[in-house]
Amino acid sequence: MFDFCNVFIMLVLIIIMAYPLYFIVIASLSDPYKVINGKVYLWPADFTLDSYINVFRESSIWKGYYNTIRYTFWGTLFNLALTIPAAYILSKKKLAGRKFLSFYFLIPMYFSGGLVPTYLLVNNIGLMNKPYTLIFLGGISIYNLIVTRIFFQTSIPEELYESASMDGASHFRVFFQIAMPLAKPIIAVMALYYAVAHWNSYFNALIYISNDAYQPLQIVLRNILINNQMLLVGMDTSALSADEALAAARRQYMAQGMKYALIFVSSAPLLVAYPFVQKHFVKGVMIGSLKG
Amino acid sequence: MKTRLRSLISLLIGTSLLLSACSQSPQSAESSAPPVSSAPASQSSSESQSQSETAAPEETYDYTDYRAHSQFPLTKQTPLTLAVRRDPSYGADWEDTWFWNWMKDKSGLEFEIEQVLPAAVADRKNLMFASGSLPDVLIGFSFSTGELVKYGQTEGQLLAINDYITPDIMPFLSQWFGDYPQWESSCKAPDGNIYSLPCFNAYTPGNSERFFWNTTWLKDVGKEIPSTLDEFLDVLYAFKEKRPDSYPLGGGANGDDPRSYILNAMGFLGTYTGDKGYNIALREGEIVIPGGDPVYKEYLTIMKQLYDDGIINPSFFSMEKTAIDAMIAEDKTGAIPIYPYLATPEVEKFSQWESGNPLTSKWNSTPQWLAASRLIIGGCVVTADAQEAETIMRWLDFFYSDLGGLYMWNGPASNSEDCMGLTKGFTIREDGSSVYLDVEDKTYESNLVRNYQQMMGFFNVFGNRSNAVGEPETTQLNIMQRLYGAPIAETTYDMSNGDQNYRYSCLQHMTPYEVDKFPYIIYFDEETNTIVSDLASVIQPFIETETAKFITGIRDINEFDTYLSELKSLNFETYLNYYRNAWSA
Amino acid sequence: MKVIRNDWQLYLLILPAVVYVFIFHYIPMYGVQIAFKDFSTRLGIWNSPWVGFKHFIRFVTYPNFKKIIWNTLSITLYNLMTYPIPIILALLINELNNQRFRKVVQMVSYAPHFVSTVVVCSMLILFTDNNNGLFNHIIRALGGTGSDWLSKPSLFPSLYVWSSVWQSAGWSTIIFLAALAGVSPELYEAAYMDGASRLQIILHVNIPALAPTIITMFIMRVGQIMSLGFEKIYLLQNSLNLDASQVISTYVYEMGVRNGQFSYASAIDLFNTVINILLLLVVNKISQRSAGVGIW
């Protein structure tokens, strides 16, 4: 009975949640004016692939993908290397200086010097506009750190550590061989959080990267969108031929619908990769851990 | 002086250029002394002459020689550093462009350029000033008057260039200011200094605010393009009667807003953004803010009537821009404030539209229309710590000459040695129009792409994008014709070209009434700016919301007097006076 | 003794994070003083003159001060009340037996997170439109009268919050599902053997397992009560809803970015931070006393 209700609720929820997503799909394939006039409900109206074509005609998009994949991969590794051990340490109630460390990490979550000093710092240490800039700037998210710490505290019992250290295991061994394997779910979650943050990041690249070769996907996509939307603004239109004016006007008109297509262009890779990460959330990962 | 000899030589040169494409340019006999310009009377008549006319009348300087338009080569001990805005999609690396290569070759200067994306400009600008790591020159960073005052006057980080605008250091710019003293005073900050280089735009019909009528709809109801407010309302209601499902007056609050057309009819001469009622406008020569003027009540009454009777879309205040444009495409509206071809790119569709006339009404008997400003500032600044500022200014003066203004964005003629094999340049066709050879042979897909990839990278930011120095009637195209050696021909409009179509229409209907005496550029000193922006952040949303409420009937129009006193309690008078004082100063 | 000798390994594990935070978060912290100075770009942060609380006073005496604070809080508090939704969702998803169906549900619930704010706002504007919007069509089909939802200040917080729920609820379940995955199966076996119903298992096994995560995250949410993002509000503003849609962040944007008033913007940020922290401390204390769970 319970299961039946549950499934029913889930179905209703899925429909409500999925409709807007479905709408985005069909809107990206429709004429923008039909979309805005509410003519698009279940099917695309005036089917067209122009929105996608206009995005992919810009060759810069492949560089954008390449850079973003690179930043996401290395950046996430860097984030995890900082966050996981730190969260583990913070979860150890008996460690001397733990309270101090907790405050140490908590304060920057609220107090920040702002953009100007950070910019000056990045400039001074020579991190401006380099291929690895965006990898290092991701750093550590205090929020994620705290959530990971909670996980270590609640999901891994103290007895496990005690029994291991009584066996003579060093702290490193305990961490790497006992805690880490048990922390797979949270590592997977954090990897996902950080990866998505890298993938969607925009502002840091805007401020610190001026070289085309290092621009990530989000910057490239927004440029494409803005470019198409403002094709005729501030332009020397007196030099346009009739055909050119027509082509430009058409593209500007299509750009109004381009933002729907961009959702797919920017998130499709993530959505495709997601199922591989998901298997870590399955029940029963902890089977057999509490023996001894 | 030697003018007759010079013009004879130019004539010979011009003819020989015509005969041989891309030939070596003959030695120019003249030195590069700054030219003395004259405005030959024959220029204005050449516009309407037929195309068989031979090459230009009296030349005041050699068009084919860059040295007649600049002081190149210059010497500077250190490289000239610049931060330059770059187009997101089409912009090329500066070292790959024809323009900067030509410039490196001819100017004798070394350049170090950082290119910044438009989206990053606002933040980078603030950060650069805050961190103190500034280049010599910033181009394309759109400094507002507030920023010019802040960084120039208050912080002293921008160079005051007025001392450099002399016939010796900057002959061309001095001459522009000599011919247009009102522009010079517009460039001055409250302390009397000039902190930004100006941009002079050409007069182009259709650049100012616009309003268009659907001629098919007019024919259907047997009416003409209205000239008075009463006729205007008459036509709209006739539209509605004939087509009950339509919303005759198009546009919306979140896109192109038609309300300024009505405010204009009632005597408020304003800029583009005057429609929400809270920006400054001129009424009988005095600065007012429509939202606080007694006549505004009449305007609200009219608008409310239009709203109630379905003349404007009930979603007027919430529709997104796309929806606003869609109404035009779906033929649901007959009067619009947007360039028609942008909403309906097809020739049959946009040809139906014709520009409206400025209206008169019982509150305003002069038909007038505000011209787009021909002066833009904030596009180019020099920083205070720039090394060898005088040399930099001499370099910048080039952009105010005819050749300089052209080379920034269009590049050289195909028969000029300035092509340097890096660009194919432009040619003038038989009918007087220009074509870029690089586009004609499909190296680049369009003029726009070609210009961004080969040239300085932006349009209408600084320099002379207007007529030839001292010759008000010439156009950029005329300069190109002169450079190429083709006869000066009059501008023609191709009605199948969406852009030219509406411009021609505006030329007929709006241009005769255009007025350009207006406080386009207003300066406040920093303290006042803070006060004004705080007041604005309260007053502007108030006017905007209350206007919307009156129009949609949420608030009763009879409460208008209460509204005025509420406005007063927000320090409206003080706010208005700040603007009045700033303009008269 | 043995313990201290070995502890260096622990400190080593946390060292990279400490160093990183020091460089990128603590070193720039001197910028906080901008809020108490009249920041001059020429003089730099250190040399700019002190003005004490001038900017704070300006903020508090700003005519629309009450309005923007009230608007901000009504949205964030409303948002806070939807906090249980992802938790309930996670608990229900966790109970699904069919793995395929479960995967589908998860994917559908996460996907909205990837939709950009711009598109969410466009869709919202479209769906709530009186003439063409889906919501009004449905209402009219059910016999009601349609209206322009986004033009009503009173509806603004609801529209903002529920569209945010759509966007983030699924994504927020991730952490809860991960925590649930860590629950030992033996606990379930024991409860089952005791004859507990499904609902009782959820109440007595799952929820306690999630409790620390739930409480901690709630505390952190409270610590963000004054922080309301700028972009989405800005996109949803129109002439008629300004009474409800003028918030702190849109004001800071106008002052900071558009008018270059860094000190002022910085002071407002600090003001928000202080309030956030005060609330955080209060809620944290309560939580520590009653549930024994805290941020530190």
Task: Give how far B129 is from chain C: nearest CA, Å.
Answer: 6
Per-residue pLDDT tens for A139-197?
788 889 988 888 888 777 777 777 777 777 788 888 888 888 888 888 888 888 899 88
Contact B480, B174 (CB under 8 A): no
pLDDT given for residue B391 in this prediction:
94
Task: Give how far B31 is from chain C: nearest CA, Å.
Answer: 43
Quote the CA–CA distance of B169 and B392 in Å, as a whole number. 10
B428 three-state secondary structure: strand
Q: Which CATH number do you get for residue C196?
A: 1.10.3720.10
Find the angle CA(A88)-CA(A91)-CA(A94) to the nearest 5 degrees: 120
Quote the CA–CA distance of B424 and B98 in Å, as a whole number. 10
Quote the CA–CA distance of B534 and A261 in Å, as a whole number. 40
CB–CB contact C17 A285 (8 Å) = no
| Average pLDDT for chain A | 82
Contact B402, B479 (CB under 8 A): yes
Nearest CA in chain A to B433: A239
pLDDT given for residue C61 in this prediction:
92
Task: Give how far A172 is from chain B: nearest CA, Å.
Answer: 43
Q: C34 and C65 share a domain?
A: no
B427 three-state secondary structure: strand
Query: Subunits with at least 3 CB pairs below 8 A relative to chain A?
Result: B, C
Q: Describe the strand order of the beta sheet including B353-355 as a list of residue ranges.
A: B335-336, B212-214, B353-355
Domain that holds residue A158: 49-281
User: Highest mean pLDDT: which of A1-5, B560-564, C113-117?
Assistant: B560-564
Looking at the 3D structure of chain A, how many domains does it have?
1
Domain assignment present for C134: no
Q: C102 and C13 share a domain?
A: no
pLDDT given for residue B3 in this prediction:
43
Q: C42 and C63 share a domain?
A: no
Would you tell me how many other CB atoms lie within 10 Å of the CB of residue A181? 11
User: Over 60: is that where the pLDDT of A12 sits?
Assistant: yes
Alpha helices in B211-280 (DSSP H): 215-221, 229-242, 259-265
On chain A, the residues whose CB falls within 8 A of the CB of B446 are 244, 247-248
Class of domain B66-202+375-468+475-485: alpha beta
Domain assignment present for A286: no
Task: Give how far A54 is from chain B: nearest CA, Å.
Answer: 12
Span B175-204, average pLDDT: 91
- In B429-568 the beta strands, taken as DSSP E runs, fall at 434-436, 463-465, 514-515
Domain assignment present for A89: yes
Question: What is the residue extent of each domain of chain B?
Answer: 66-202+375-468+475-485, 212-370+500-504+512-584
The 3-state secondary structure of chain A, one letter per residue? CHHHHHHHHHHHHHHHHHHHHHHHHHHHCCCHHHHHCCCCCCCCCCCCCHHHHHHHCCCHHHHHHHHHHHHHHHHHHHHHHHHHHHHHHHCCCCCCCHHHHHHHHHHHHHCCCCHHHHHHHHHHCCCCCCCCHHHHHHCCCHHHHHHHHHHHHHHCCHHHHHHHHHCCCCHHHHHHHHHHHHCHHHHHHHHHHHHHHHHHCCHHHHHHCCCHHHCCHHHHHHHHHHHHHCCCCCCCHHHCCHHHHHHHHHHHHHHHHHHHHHHHHHHHHHHHHHHHHHHHHCCCCCCCCCCC
C260 lies within 8 A of chain B by CB = yes
Q: Chains A, C: CB contacts under 8 A, how many?
A: 246
Buried residues in C264-294 as b, exposed as e (16+ CB within 10 A): bbbbbbbbbbebbbebbeebbeebeeeeebb
User: How far, in Å, are B24, B45, B398, B482 from residue B485 at the CA level?
Assistant: 15, 18, 21, 5
Which phi and psi angles does B178 have, rounded to 5°? -65, -40
C residues 59-98 near A, CB within 8 Å? 89, 92-97
Quote the CA–CA distance of A91 and A156 in Å, as a whole number. 10
User: How far, in Å, are A6, A16, A25, B383, B446 from residue A13 at the CA level?
Assistant: 11, 5, 19, 59, 49
The region of weakest confidence among A56-60, A265-269, B12-16, C79-83 is B12-16
Quote the CA–CA distance of A278 and C109 in Å, as a whole number. 13
Q: If pLDDT is split at 50, 70 and 90, which confidence band does B552 have? A: very high
CB–CB contact C216 A121 (8 Å) = no
Nearest CA in chain B to A231: B448
Q: C169 and C279 share a domain?
A: yes
Quote the CA–CA distance of C105 and C95 in Å, as a whole number. 12
Task: Give how far C155 is from chain A: nearest CA, Å.
Answer: 20
Would you tell me how many other CB atoms lie within 10 Å of the CB of residue B265? 24
Per-residue pLDDT tens for B119-159?
888 888 888 898 888 999 999 998 989 899 999 999 999 99
Domain that holds residue C22: 1-52
Determine the distance from the C-alpha atom of residue C263 to the mean position of all C-alpha atoms in its chain, rounded to a whole number.
25
Query: Subunits with at least 3 CB pairs below 8 A relative to chain C?
Result: A, B
pLDDT given for residue B45 in this prediction:
31
CB–CB contact C14 A23 (8 Å) = no
CB–CB contact C148 B541 (8 Å) = no
pTM as predicted: 0.85
CB–CB contact A224 B117 (8 Å) = no
pLDDT given for residue B122 in this prediction:
84
Span B391-400, average pLDDT: 95
Domain assignment present for C274: yes
C57 lies within 8 A of chain A by CB = no
Quote the CA–CA distance of C68 and A144 in Å, as a whole number. 30
User: Looking at this protein, which amino acid is placed at residue A91?
Assistant: S
Give the closest of C27, C220, C296 to A143, CB-based.
Answer: C220
Task: Give how far C95 is from chain B: nearest CA, Å.
Answer: 42
Per-residue pLDDT tens for B456-509?
877 788 999 888 888 888 888 888 998 888 888 887 888 888 888 889 999 999
Quote the CA–CA distance of B535 and B545 in Å, as a whole number. 16
CB–CB contact B345 A232 (8 Å) = no
Q: C4 and C97 share a domain?
A: no
Q: Which CATH number do you get for residue A116?
A: 1.10.3720.10
Alpha helices in B285-381 (DSSP H): 296-308, 321-329, 340-343, 347-350
> To the nearest whole percent, how much of chain B has pLDDT over 90?
50
Quote the CA–CA distance of B467 and A257 in Å, as a whole number. 39
> To the nearest whole percent, how much of chain A has pLDDT over 70?
91
User: Over 50: is that where the pLDDT of B359 sits?
Assistant: yes
Question: Per DSSP, what are the bridge partners of residue B85?
Answer: B116
Contact B16, B26 (CB under 8 A): yes
The 3-state secondary structure of C7-66, one letter per residue? HHHHHHHHHHHHHHHHHHHHHHHHHHHHHHECCCCCCHHHHCCECCCHHHHHHHCCCCHH
Span A102-116, average pLDDT: 86
CB–CB contact B322 A238 (8 Å) = no
Contact C192, C112 (CB under 8 A): no
Mutate to test the interface with C, among A171, A177, A224, A228 (most CBs of C within 10 A): A171
Task: Give how far A39 is from chain B: nearest CA, Å.
Answer: 12
A residues 8-37 near B, CB within 8 Å? 32-33, 35-37
Find the angle CA(C285)-CA(C289)-CA(C291) to the nearest 5 degrees: 110
User: How far, in Å, are B114, B129, B155, B348 from residue B133 at the CA level?
Assistant: 12, 7, 14, 54
Give the closest of B126, B156, B313 to C260, CB-based.
Answer: B126
Give the closest of C32, C105, C133 to A111, CB-based.
Answer: C32
User: Looking at this protein, which amino acid is placed at residue B290?
Assistant: P
Per-residue pLDDT tens for B413-436?
998 889 998 999 999 988 888 889
Q: C199 and C285 share a domain?
A: yes
CB–CB contact A113 C113 (8 Å) = no
Q: When comparing pLDDT for A282 and A24, which is higher?
A: A24
User: Over 90: is that where the pLDDT of B308 sits?
Assistant: yes
Task: Give how far C109 is from chain B: nearest CA, Å.
Answer: 28
Quote the CA–CA distance of B127 and B382 in Å, as a whole number. 16
Q: If pLDDT is split at 50, 70 and 90, which confidence band does B277 have? A: confident
Mutate to test the interface with B, among C34, C122, C145, C238 (most CBs of B within 10 A): C238
B113 three-state secondary structure: strand
Q: C30 and C98 share a domain?
A: no
CB–CB contact B547 C259 (8 Å) = no
User: Over 70: is that where the pLDDT of A283 sits?
Assistant: no
Contact B323, C130 (CB under 8 A): no
Peptide bond into C112 cis (omega under 30): no
Span B540-550, average pLDDT: 93
B82 three-state secondary structure: strand
Task: Give how far A242 is from chain C: nearest CA, Å.
Answer: 32
pLDDT given for residue B9 in this prediction:
38
On chain C, the residues whose CB falls within 8 A of the CB of A9 are 92
pLDDT given for residue A288 in this prediction:
31
Task: Give how far C98 is from chain A: nearest CA, Å.
Answer: 10
Q: Describe the strand order of the beta sheet including B80-85 as a list of residue ranges.
A: B111-116, B80-85, B137-139, B375-382, B197-201, B463-465
The correct CATH number of B212-370+500-504+512-584 out of 3.50.50.60, 3.30.565.10, 3.90.320.10, 3.40.190.10 is: 3.40.190.10
On chain C, the residues whose CB falls within 8 A of the CB of A79 are none
| Average pLDDT for chain B | 84
pLDDT given for residue B241 in this prediction:
94
Quote the CA–CA distance of C250 and C233 in Å, as a whole number. 8
CB–CB contact C129 B323 (8 Å) = yes
C residues 28-47 near B, CB within 8 Å? 39-42, 44
Looking at the 3D structure of chain C, how many domains does it have?
2
Span B279-302, average pLDDT: 92
Domain assignment present for C30: yes
On chain B, the residues whose CB falls within 8 A of the CB of A207 are 120, 123-124, 127
| Per-residue confidence in pLDDT tens, chain C, 296 aa | 444 456 788 888 889 999 999 999 999 998 889 899 998 888 888 889 999 999 999 999 998 999 999 999 999 999 999 999 999 999 888 888 888 888 888 888 888 888 888 889 988 988 888 877 888 888 988 888 888 888 899 999 999 999 999 999 988 888 888 888 777 788 888 888 887 787 888 888 888 888 888 888 898 888 888 888 888 999 899 889 999 999 999 898 878 766 778 889 889 989 999 999 999 889 989 988 888 777 77
Determine the distance from the C-alpha atom of residue B323 to the mean position of all C-alpha atoms in its chain, rounded to a whole number.
27
CB–CB contact B317 C259 (8 Å) = no
On chain C, the residues whose CB falls within 8 A of the CB of B150 are 260
Give the closest of B132, B548, B570 to C239, CB-based.
Answer: B548
> To the nearest whole percent, how much of chain A has pLDDT over 90?
10
pLDDT given for residue C2 in this prediction:
46
Quote the CA–CA distance of A223 and A219 in Å, as a whole number. 6
Tell how strand B369-370 and strand B514-515 pair up. Answer: parallel
User: Over 50: is that where the pLDDT of B567 sits?
Assistant: yes
Give the closest of C18, C181, C199 to A285, CB-based.
Answer: C181
Q: If pLDDT is split at 50, 70 and 90, which confidence band does B46 have? A: very low
On chain A, the residues whose CB falls within 8 A of the CB of C30 are 113, 117
CB–CB contact A154 C182 (8 Å) = yes
Nearest CA in chain A to C35: A113
Contact B114, A123 (CB under 8 A): no
> What ipTM goes with this model?
0.85
pLDDT given for residue B489 in this prediction:
84
pLDDT given for residue A246 in this prediction:
77
User: Over 60: is that where the pLDDT of B59 sits?
Assistant: no
Q: If pLDDT is split at 50, 70 and 90, which confidence band does B275 have? A: low
